[in-house]
Amino acid sequence: MSVQDPDSRYDLGSRQRSFLGLTKESALKGLFGGNAFVSILVLGLITFFLFKEGAGFFGQYREDLTTYRSSGLEYVELMREEQDALSALNRYLNSIRTLQSEQLSASGLEFRDVKAILRKDEDFFYDFEDLAYPLREYILEANEIVATARDSYNEMLDLQEHQQNLLKAGREDEAQNLTIPEVDLEIMFSLVKDSEAEFLAINRQLESEIPKLLDRAPEYADSELSLKLGRFKELASMFILEIPDYESKVVSWNRAESVSLGDAFTSFVFGKEWVTNSSVQDWYGIVPLFSGSLLVALIAMCFAIPFGVGAAVYVNQVANPIEQNLIKPYIEFISAIPSVVIGFFGIAVFGTLLRTVSGWDALGWIDFFPLSERLTGFTAGCLLALMAIPTIFTLAEDALNNVPLSFREASMAMGSTKLQTIVRIIIPTALSGIISATLLGFGRVIGETMVVLLCAGNRIEIPQISKGVGVFFEPVHTMTGIIAQELGEVVNGSLHYRALFVVGLTLFLISLLINYFAQKIVIKFQISRG
């Protein structure tokens, strides 16, 4: 019978059992260490995947812009700028005629009498409209030529790629039988370039005929009509002065000018249009999407910060245990509500209620009331605030809990009231943690998808700051919303597909920066305590 060492009973490691060479301690270390490794691996895979799918966008976009230029579409679009300006003049002139018709109808005249009065000046309006016809027809014809050339060229490239794929697959017979038309963009464009003299002749006619027509403009006794007509004459005169500038852009345009990767990058980063499935040219500019996301996030944080931080301060410093057990679980429960449910609530209840309230007579003094839309940036922002409050509340409360109790006791011992202690001692001490909570709440808001997709209105426009507060009540589109809306409908590997991945990459980098700064603030907070 062996004699056991008396000291061995105090050696816990001696009695540890192992399985497959692993003790309980090493198994736990491997489990939690493995979780961290898996997290890092997943983050790396996400980053790699986004870069892999999005990296080819700028090169592909460059090729697309190069075709846009070499085919002559850019050349025709320069002409279209003049056409758009002339069309804007026609619309303004028609608004004058509409106003006159409304005034005559409101005066109590019969319909035939109104028509008789309007008929006196109809030659002026029709003649001005006819002035735009030659330019419009010329541009339509030129656009048809260059658009057909672009489509034929892209079809040729697709067939060449298909032929190469057949050869790689060893299907030489099919590859040889494939008929690939030869398309020379330079020859096709020359058909339009050679007719440039016609474009210049049309401009000479406009410069000659518009002043003559303005001399025949009607005179109105009504001050409002007279003022609008005077403004029209000023705009028409400005248009005549701008004709040489339009011509200069067209004449000096260089088809051979190359499109660099920098041009593709700046077109995406600073582009103000997101246009897909266009018959002319697709444009991928992130500015309207980024500004929409920023606007919605700003609205959300304006509500989430005071409510989230305020609730955290109240629950942590003021509320009694009964209030704490009532308020805290309900706020944290909000985070368990699916975002799609909150989105449905925004569509069915909140958006409709907001538009109804905006129609109250008591609120008629507000310029942008009543609202014409129920799904706006404000609707989405309010619902996102509801989703961000639990995040800000929980993290802000943790920051308040980390304030040493001695700080509060010392303040109270020196005669400070509870409110003074909270405002001057507790909150300043926990400020770094509160700021970190706010940043993480902002990350939660800007990365949300379903609510903004359902409730923001999905209008791809840059918010007009000139509208003042009314800009918050306009429909917008966001980076997350555009990805969710369009990714399922695009062709894998297409330019549109890669553009959406670049938007996702941009959103990913923004989230990383937010979390990075939040961590830096937390570290600073911990050091300040030490």
Cα–Cα dist 82/75, whole Å: 12
Cα–Cα dist 232/215, whole Å: 13
Q: Is there a contact between 151 and 281 (Cβ–Cβ < 8 Å)?
A: no
**Can you tell me the mean pLDDT for 392-408?**
91
Choose from 73-82, 169-178, 215-224, 366-375 the range with maximum mean pLDDT. 73-82
Cα–Cα dist 155/147, whole Å: 12
Residue 11 has pLDDT above 70, yes or no: no
Residue carrying structure tokens 């706006």:
376
CA nearest to 142, candidates 98, 96, 193, 186: 193
Residue 125 has pLDDT above 70, yes or no: yes
20 pLDDT band, cuts 50/70/90, is: low
**Can you tell me the mean pLDDT for 198-203?**
96
526 pLDDT band, cuts 50/70/90, is: low
For every residue of 437-458, DSSP letters joined together read HHHHHHHHHHT--HHHHHHSB-
| pTM score, whole prediction | 0.85
86 pLDDT band, cuts 50/70/90, is: very high
Residues in a beta bridge with 388: none
Q: Record the tokens describing residue 357, joined without a space.
A: 């309230």
**Can you tell me the mean pLDDT for 360-380?**
90
Residue 527 has pLDDT above 50, yes or no: no
Cα–Cα dist 266/62, whole Å: 11
Look at strands 283-284 and 274-275 and give their pairing.
Answer: antiparallel
Contacts of 312 (CB under 8 A, 6+ apart): 392, 393, 394, 396, 397, 400, 434
Q: Which DSSP helix (H) or strand (E) runs through 283?
A: strand 283-284
Task: Give the per-residue pLDDT at 117.
Answer: 82
- Indicate the DSSP class of residue 423: I
Query: Per residue in 439-463, pLDDT tens?
Result: 999 999 999 999 999 999 999 999 9
Say which range, 38-52, 279-293, 359-373, has the weakest mean pLDDT: 38-52
Task: Give the per-residue pLDDT at 529.
Answer: 46
**Can you tell me the mean pLDDT for 21-45?**
73
Cα–Cα dist 224/357, whole Å: 33
Query: Per residue in 473-510, pLDDT tens?
Result: 999 999 999 999 999 889 888 999 999 999 999 999 99
Mean pLDDT for all residues in the chain? 89
**Can you tell me the mean pLDDT for 195-210?**
95
31 pLDDT band, cuts 50/70/90, is: low
For every residue of 345-388, DSSP letters joined together read HIIIIIHHHHHHHHT-GGGTTSTTPSPS-SS-HHHHHHHHHHHH
